[in-house]
Amino acid sequence: MNGKITTLAVVLALTSLGCGGARTLIGEVDGAAPNDTGAGSVDAGGDTVAADHVGDAGRTCTPVTFPGDAPFTLPAGVAGIWTGYFQGGSPLPSSDVLRISILPLAGGSGEIHVVMGTAASPPPATSATDYYPPGGPTDVTATLPRLIDGFTYLAHAVTWDGQRLKMRVSYGEPWQSWCALQLSYAIADRPGAYNCVPGLGGGSIGSGPDQMCHAQDMGGTKNTPVSCAQLFMCSGQCTCDACGCAAAVDDYEAFDVTFDGDLLTGVGAGKNIRLTRDAI
């Protein structure tokens, strides 16, 4: 391990969402006995201080709510599987392929899914302390991908104006299963705020598989050993309340497209797109 020390500034997400799943305590190794008192922190004098979690329900107190979500009906002639590509560049480094599935549901409502790229969708997370998705960045100084190749996104804030469709996909959605594994911790010096590590910032020593990380309170007086994956992803990808944690929904990509027979064109994820209908 080298002596490099990295200090991270973490932005706390405060939105209350809902989710479910099993949990691994911060600092716990898979297969080890759970530590019901949460991770231990170290104060400025070097003494260990309890960092008890408050939310271990595997969900947040209120259901997930994406701003602008509401049931919608499909205009005639748009249902089907639409495939094509981003024109003049792609929001993904590996592929320009795009697929939009527009599905009628029972009762007359609709549902829309968006897949960018050609990779297999990552499996649900099974460890709260490992980086996610598998094969992604594994260092707190790296940058998480904005969009996940092959992941099936659910369209939110869907609106129709004739044959024009406007919708959004949430950057945080792929981390829903990972956030559901986390415990929530009250931020002592910010009443009503919660995070899935005990603090709002932290730091790291070393790099690669030898990297060691800690979360830190706002005053910079208490450090809590945590997995580097949790320090890296908790506040950016998750939002927590007194019950638990879920994927954050405060950041998204927008789509604005128009249907003309079996052709769909417009803008998605900041790129021009062109798709044709494969099936109904």
* Bigger pLDDT: 215 vs 63: 215
Can you give the residue ranges of every domain in the chain? 5-26+40-279
Task: Write down the mean pLDDT value for the chain.
Answer: 81
What pLDDT does 7 receive? 43
pLDDT at 64: 65
What's the pLDDT score for residue 221?
75
Mean pLDDT, residues 34-50: 39
Task: Check pLDDT > 70 for residue 278.
Answer: yes
Q: Mean pLDDT, to the nearest integer, of 246-256?
A: 94
CA 55, CA 243: separation in Å to the nearest integer? 4
pTM of the model: 0.80
Rg over alpha carbons for the chain, rounded to the nearest Å, is: 21
The segment with the largest mean pLDDT, out of 19-28, 44-53, 160-169, 199-208, is 160-169
Sequential DSSP letters for 213-259: EEEE-TTS-EEEEE-HHHHHHHHHHEEE-SS-EEE--S-EEEEEEEE
Confidence tier at 132 by pLDDT (50, 70, 90) = very high
